Amino acid sequence: MPVNKKIHELREKREKILLGGGEQAIEKQKAMGKRTARERIMALLDENSFNEYDLFVEHDARDFDMDKKSLPSDGVIIGSGTIYGAPVAIFAQDFTVAGGSLGLMHSRKITKIMDHALKMRIPLIGINDSGGARIQEGVNSLAGYGEIFFRNTISSGVIPQLSVILGPCAGGAVYSPALTDFVFVVDKISKMFITGPEVIKTVLGEEISMEDLGGARVHSEITGNAHFFALSEEECFEQIKKLITFIPWNNGQKARMFEPAEPKPEYNINKIVPEDPTLPYDVKDVIRAIVDNSDFFEIMELYAKNIVIGFGRMGGHTTGFVANQPLEMAGVLDVDSSDKAARFIRYCDAFNIPIITLVDLPGYLPGVDQEHAGVIRHGAKVLYAYSEATVPKLTVILRKAYGGGYIAMSSRHLRADFVFAWPSAEIAVMGPEGAANIIFRKEIMSSADPDAMRKQKVEEYKTKFANPYVAASRGYVDAVIEPSETRKFLMHAIEVSENKDVPMPHKKHGLPPF
Amino acid sequence: MSKNDKLGFLNIDTSLYQTRISNKFLNRKPYQPADPRIILSFIPGTVFDIMTGPGQNVSQGDDLMILDAMKMKNKLKCPIDGIVKSIAVKKGDKVSKGTVLMELE
């Protein structure tokens, strides 16, 4: 039976390779609290959906005795499968094989699956767990990184690209995740940096742990490099799966529709926002009061918390939310929150996801540090992103919308399709206190009781201008609505925007301020 | 919003907003104008050579020091005419960015 013999041979060959770097290396991986590359793929994808390619690829390096070394699958697993039925291409670096180091064939496997994902217009998921370049392979290894970065860039905005950091990802390797749409990190497992603690110590004499330099928390809270933070690999995979349900397979499609569901009654939209515009509340409660099933999937939860971004569904349609958060730094726009919002707006626009903007902000954060950090340049990103976005743009002004902040937050002037305002909205050039101080300066200064006069003038300004009706009288606001009408108006706006089509002047590409 | 939230106040355009204040905001460094008499390392590195000493007259454009950093020998030029008051480092010292290297008067 020659056929059976050959099948048997195949099985034997497979089995040997499937062990990756061998039992000892696997034990080491487990001791670090990490799963193996293959276990990760199995945990992430639908059961029995993974088809592996390039299992038999081997490196052909000759220098430094590399020809005597066999590296199973060259330290990376590639293939495709499904997540809740959605097709995805995937690669996972195998740390048990030569530390997941990237050599020429390793990189060719990755670029093969990247090309496949782009050609088939399906999402790409990359699991990074690698010591970095395979030094023995010299410039070939650098070439490999370059080929990956190029493909990340070309695929950007065409297919969703997700990077999962489940181990070290250091040096040049960090730039592949940085070029992708969403970066997932896990506490104590993910490490990302350009130069590691060793180099920093040698050059500068500064001592820092890997965790403090580039751990999951650092990238979630301080640098803004990561979008999703999890406490375990398991939680991380759940986040990835959930994200996949919200986004389309490519930029030519819309996200899958879900059964519409009403928000939960415990989020009472009439009782969330205090009347006094200086008092805080959690804007996520407003989002939960209007989205299907009160299910809001937040992105970059720990970074620049003064702006909230994420996905929810409105009548079954995936919708992107951008909301000022009065609970954090009064919801101001600043360098970090502008950067965070602008990138998300562009993501939604690239992937046909309508954007709902909830506005309640006092303006931009004052300070030398902000000015010197380039708040002009970074703040401009928000204007740019909203203006160029052609997906349906719906705006609800909940309370304050002052000055430049009003313009930036998806105003009519940046071509919001629908602008709604609650009766509590204050759309004005600046806050009543500041405005009264300037406009009525003379009256206040020359008054016998300046404080009383100031109070009186502030009240006067509030009554006249701190409302939605001046803007509504100009048509800058389409409708002043009761909070309880918000969901109805937004759902209808999304329905009628289904076939929105706006012509744009021809250009190679714009020049956003980055 | 839980009751344990620590709230502070943020002043925007003379209105005081009750809100959480971020650590980044709390830890920001107060602005100080740059002093040309204080020579700082503009890059992390190692002091390779020092071409002057305390009490010496120096002119704008003179080489004060060589900082070995990023595989380059970087010359530190004197920004003003003056006298070296003190030198805070010695040859071979590793310095991080922004370290005071010398003071002029």
| Of the partner residues A278, A285, A366, the one whose CB lies closest to the CB of residue B16 | A278
Q: Which residues of A298-319 are buried (b: 16+ CB within 10 A; e: fewer)?
A: bbbbbbbbbbbbbbbbbbebbb
Residue-wise pLDDT for B1-27, tens only, equals 555 568 999 999 888 999 999 999 999
d(CA A337, CA A303) in angstroms, rounded, equals 8
Model's pTM, two decimal places? 0.93
Contact of B21 with chain A, judged by CB distance below 8 Å, is answered with yes
Query: What contacts A153, CB < 8 A, 6 or more positions away?
Result: A179
Cα–Cα nearest to A384, from A414, A355, A404 = A414
d(CA A3, CA A10): 11
B19–A contact, CB cutoff 8 A: yes
Is the CB of B16 inside 8 Å of chain A's CB atoms? yes
Nearest CA in chain B to A434: B13
DSSP state of A271: G
> Distance between CA atoms of B103 and B105, rounded to whole angstroms?
7
Secondary structure, 3-state, A377-411: HHHHHHHHHHHHCCCCEEEEEEEEEEHHHHHHCCC
Task: Give the one of A328, A367, A430 whose C-beta lies nearest to B28's C-beta.
Answer: A367
Question: Could you give phi then psi for residue A327, rounded to 5 degrees?
Answer: -70, -25
| CB–CB contact B16 A331 (8 Å) | no
Spell out which residues of chain B touch residue A289, defining contact as CB-CB under 8 Å: none
Per the DSSP assignment, residues forming a β-bridge with A76 are: A93
Between chains, do B13 and A279 touch, taking CB under 8 Å as contact? no
Calculate Rg over the CA atoms of chain A.
26
How far does the CA of residue A327 sit from the closest CA of chain B (Å)? 5
Measure CA of the first residue to CA of the last residue in chain A; give whole Å: 65
- Cα nearest neighbour of B20 on chain A: A328
Show Cβ contacts of residue B30 under 8 Å, excluding neighbours closer than 6 positions: none
B45 touches chain A (CB under 8 A): yes
Chain A CB contacts of B43 below 8 Å: none
Which of A280, A336, A366 has the CB atom closest to B12's CB atom? A366
Report the residue of chain B nearest A302, measured CA to CA: B22
Find which of B19, B28, B94, B95 to mutate to test the A interface (most A CBs within 10 Å of its CB): B19
Q: How far apart are CA A437 and CA A236, in angstroms?
A: 51
d(CA A482, CA A208): 53
The DSSP bridge partners found for residue B49 are B66
**Closest approach of B63 to chain A, Cα-based (Å):** 23
CA A391, A394, A395, A396 torsion-angle sign = negative
> B30: pLDDT confidence band, cut at 50, 70 and 90?
confident
User: Dihedral angle at the C-alpha atoms of A416, A417, A423, A428, nearest 10 degrees?
Assistant: 30
Interchain proximity B1–A327, CB inside 8 Å? yes
Its sign, for the CA torsion B63, B64, B68, B74, is negative
pLDDT per residue as tens, chain A (514 positions): 567 999 999 999 999 898 888 899 999 999 999 999 999 999 999 999 999 999 999 988 888 888 888 888 999 999 999 999 999 999 999 999 999 999 999 999 999 999 999 999 999 999 999 999 999 889 999 999 999 999 999 999 999 999 999 999 998 899 999 999 999 999 999 999 999 998 888 877 789 999 999 999 999 999 999 999 999 999 999 999 999 999 999 999 999 999 999 999 999 999 999 999 999 999 999 999 999 999 999 999 999 999 999 999 999 999 999 999 999 999 999 999 999 999 999 999 999 999 999 999 999 999 999 999 999 999 999 999 999 999 999 999 999 999 999 999 999 999 999 999 999 999 999 888 888 889 999 999 999 999 999 999 999 998 888 999 999 999 999 999 999 999 999 999 999 999 999 999 999 999 999 8
User: Of the candidates B13, B25, B29, which has its C-beta nearest A431's C-beta?
Assistant: B13
Q: Write down the ipTM of this complex.
A: 0.84
Tokens standing for residue A138: 């010299």
In CATH terms, the fold of domain B38-104 is: OB fold (Dihydrolipoamide Acetyltransferase, E2P) (2.40.50)
Calculate the CA B27 to chain-centre distance. 17
3-state secondary structure chain B: CCCCCCCEEEEECCEEEEEECCHHHHCCCCCCCCCCCEEECCCCEEEEEECCCCCCEECCCCEEEEEEECCEEEEEECCCCEEEEEECCCCCCEECCCCEEEEEC
Nearest to A362 among B15, B24, B94 (CB): B15
CA B23 to chain centre: 22
Domain boundaries, chain B: 38-104
Which helix H or strand E contains A229, and what residues bound it? strand A228-230
| Cβ atoms B64, B77 nearer than 8 A | yes
Residues of A in contact with B15 (CB under 8 A): 277-278, 362, 431-434
Distance from the B44 Cα atom to the nearest Cα atom in chain A, whole angstroms: 6
Could you read off the pLDDT of B79-97 as tens digits, one per residue?
A: 999 999 999 999 999 888 8
Q: How far apart are CA A173 and CA A260, in angstroms?
A: 41
Q: State whether B96 and A305 contact (CB < 8 Å).
A: no
**3-class DSSP state of A217:** helix
Nearest neighbour of B20 by CB, restricted to A328, A433, A437:
A328
Instruction: Give B70's pLDDT tier (boundaries 50, 70, 90).
Output: confident
Q: How far is B104 from chain A (nearest CA, A)?
A: 25
The C-alpha atoms of residue B73 and residue B67 are separated, in whole angstroms, by 6
- Are B20 and A329 inside 8 Å of each other by CB? yes
Interface of A with B (CB under 8 A): 203-206, 277-282, 285, 305-306, 326-332, 336, 362-363, 365-369, 402, 430-434, 437
Rounded to whole angstroms, how far apart are CA atoms A485 and A479? Answer: 11
Where do the domains of chain A lie, and which CATH numbers do they carry? Answer: 2-246 (3.90.226.10), 269-428+467-496 (3.90.226.10), 432-465 (no CATH)
DSSP-derived pairing of the beta strands B100-104 and B72-77: unpaired
Q: Phi/psi of residue A364, each to 5°?
A: -95, 150
Contact of B32 with chain A, judged by CB distance below 8 Å, is answered with no
End-to-end, the C-alpha distance of chain B in Å comes to 55
Say whether A203 and B29 touch across the interface (CB within 8 A).
no
Cα–Cα distance, A103 to A138 (Å, whole number): 8
Q: Token pair of A33, please? A: 């609290």
Q: What is the DSSP string of A433-472?
A: HHHHHHHTHHHHHHSSSHHHHHHHHHHHHHHHHSSSHHHH
- B102/B82 Cα distance (integer angstroms): 12
Q: Which one of B15, B18, B29 has the shortest CB-CB distance to A433?
A: B15
Q: What is the dihedral of CA A340, A346, A349, A351, to 10 degrees?
A: -90
